[in-house]
Amino acid sequence: MQNAAKRKLLRQISIILISFVLVIVFNFVLPRILPGDPIANLIGIDREFISQERYEYYRHALGLDRNIFVQFGLYLKSLFNGTLGFSYQYNSNVSSLIGSRLLNTLQITIPAFIISSILSLSIGLFFAYRRNKVEDIAGTSLTIGLNAFPSFLIGIILLVVFAFILNWFPINGLSSRNPSSPFFDRIWHLILPVLTIVIATTPSKVLQVRNSAVSVMDDKYVLFSRSNGYGYHTVAYKYIFANSFQPYLTIVGLNFAASFSGTIVVEKIFSINGMGSLMMKAITDLDYPTIQGVLFVTGSILLLSILVVDVLCYFFDPRVRRNDYV
């Protein structure tokens, strides 16, 4: 049985590796499917006069005057040499662009991810434990309602109420000009963007945790633990969560991966230069190297996260090791 589970895990790893190769290929193909001329965007699609000389120069620089296989080879070379390509929109290596933006993104998304994960677990388990009681009915209804709010609306409401009307928080960027205490100033700037993401992403996870936990609430070991007089935390975390954590772990893994791709809405509202706005602009500008580079980074992290989740499930869930799930 355990050998079967091991083989299954190895098969998962193989699938991930094959997916990685497919990601590399699709990242090359996808920008080229987008409609429009990347060179016209580069030299100014709105310009009234387009010079043929400049057009040919950039066509050659981007490798678009060569056959598709040569272009693919150049793309692979840029992945292996670590530059991830050269963006003529920014006149910079894509790796430098990503490096300068990734830290801004992670400052918002990682705290939001941690807070949201902890909150959703504790609230979801609480609702499940108090299933069909007042707390569950009221709380779940509120969660469903909150889940319907789009993130841009949450961000704008927070900005207008807390930054503009009450003047408790800043409106723009990640820090003030010449802050006297840079660390606390940074925290002050991060509160509203982080809160926006937490409010936007927690409700769906709460519902997921609650529903997964409810599905095991009637199992005998839960009844046994309660009849033994164990307290809420022991029952909820040691028995219920331990037997229903797989979906939660999967969502957390996916959320973690999504942290690296940024959130375009929050970055736009709070004027933060992150990965989301970089990708959005790259798509608008048809900046092939930047699209390819960002997709490669975020795709790789996503696959890695999926792999880590599978490995964690294998090690932490004995049912997986016993191959109870066929």
Partner 1 sequence: MNKKFLLPLLLPLLLTGCQKAQKKELVVGALTTIEKATRDEYNYDVLTASVTQLPMIGQNAEDGTFYSQLCDYEVASTKQVKFTVRENMKWSDGEYVTANDIKHTFDYMDKRGSNYFVDAETEKGTTAKLFESASISEDQRSITINLVNDNVRILSSLLDLRIQPEHIYKNYMEQDSGEPSAELSRVGCGPFTFSSFDKASNTLTFKKSKTYPFKKGEQTPISKLSYVLYANEDAMMMDLIKGQIDYTWIYSSGISADSQKVAAKDGQNVQFHHINKRGVSASIVFNCDKAPFNDKSFRVAVAHAIDYASARDTFASPYASVPNRSFVPSSTVGYKETEQLHKDETYLSSFASQNGYTDKNAQGFYVKGDEVLQFDLTVDSTKTAHVRYADFVKTSLEKAGIKVNLDPQTTADFRTKTTNKFSHDAGLEGPTHQACILGFTEAGMNMMQGMGSIYINKNHAVQGVAQVNDATFLNAINAMGSASSLEAYETACHSLQDYYAENIPVAALFWDANVTPYNNRLSNMKSDANWGLNSFINWFNISIK
| Using rule CB under 8 A, residue 175 touches partner 1 | yes
Enumerate residues 6+ apart whose C-beta is below 8 A from 236.
Answer: 125, 126, 128, 129, 213
To the nearest whole angstrom, how small is the minimum distance from the Cβ of residue 153 to partner 1? Answer: 13
Give the Å distances, CA to CA, from 136 to 121, 122, 123, 217, 251.
14, 13, 10, 14, 22
Q: Say whether 63 sits in a helix, a strand or coil.
A: coil
Angle at the Cα of 40 from the Cα atoms of 36 and 42, rounded to 5 degrees: 110
Rounded Cα distance between 229 and 223, Å, is 10
Q: Which two tokens stand for residue 171?
A: 């409106």
| Using rule CB under 8 A, residue 181 touches partner 1 | no
Q: Say whether 39 sits in a helix, a strand or coil.
A: helix
| Using rule CB under 8 A, residue 92 touches partner 1 | yes
To the nearest whole angstrom, how small is the minimum distance from the Cβ of residue 181 to partner 1? Answer: 14
| Using rule CB under 8 A, residue 83 touches partner 1 | no
| Using rule CB under 8 A, residue 268 touches partner 1 | yes
Rounded Cα distance between 277 and 261, Å, is 10
Question: Residue type for 29, please?
Answer: V
| Using rule CB under 8 A, residue 173 touches partner 1 | yes
**How many chain residues bind partner 1 (CB under 8 A)?**
45
| Using rule CB under 8 A, residue 37 touches partner 1 | yes
N-term to C-term CA, the chain? 11
Q: Is 240 exposed, middle or buried (0-12, 13-18, 19+ CB in 10 A)?
A: buried
Among 90, 113, 129, 296, binds partner 1 (CB under 8 A): 90
- Site mask, partner 1, residues 101-120, x = CB under 8 A? ---x----------------
Q: Say whether 168 sits in a helix, a strand or coil.
A: coil
| Using rule CB under 8 A, residue 48 touches partner 1 | yes
| Using rule CB under 8 A, residue 270 touches partner 1 | yes
Among 159, 194, 240, 313, binds partner 1 (CB under 8 A): 159
To the nearest whole angstrom, how small is the minimum distance from the Cβ of residue 268 to partner 1? Answer: 5
Among left, alpha and beta (phi > 0; psi -120 to 50; other), residue 231 is beta
To the nearest whole angstrom, how small is the minimum distance from the Cβ of residue 271 to partner 1? Answer: 4
Q: Say whether 50 sits in a helix, a strand or coil.
A: coil
To the nearest whole angstrom, how small is the minimum distance from the Cβ of residue 128 to partner 1? Answer: 40
Enumerate residues 6+ apart whose C-beta is below 8 A from 19.
Answer: 303
Among 50, 118, 223, 311, binds partner 1 (CB under 8 A): 50
Q: Per CB under 8 A, which region of 2-10, 65-73, 87-95, 294-302 contacts partner 1?
A: 87-95
Residue 134 or 165: which CB sits closer to partner 1?
Answer: 165
| Using rule CB under 8 A, residue 151 touches partner 1 | no
To the nearest whole angstrom, how small is the minimum distance from the Cβ of residue 191 to partner 1? Answer: 15
- Binding residues (CB under 8 A) for partner 1: these are 35-37, 40, 45-46, 48-54, 57, 61, 90-92, 97, 100, 104, 156, 159-160, 163-164, 167, 171-177, 186, 267-273, 277, 281, 284
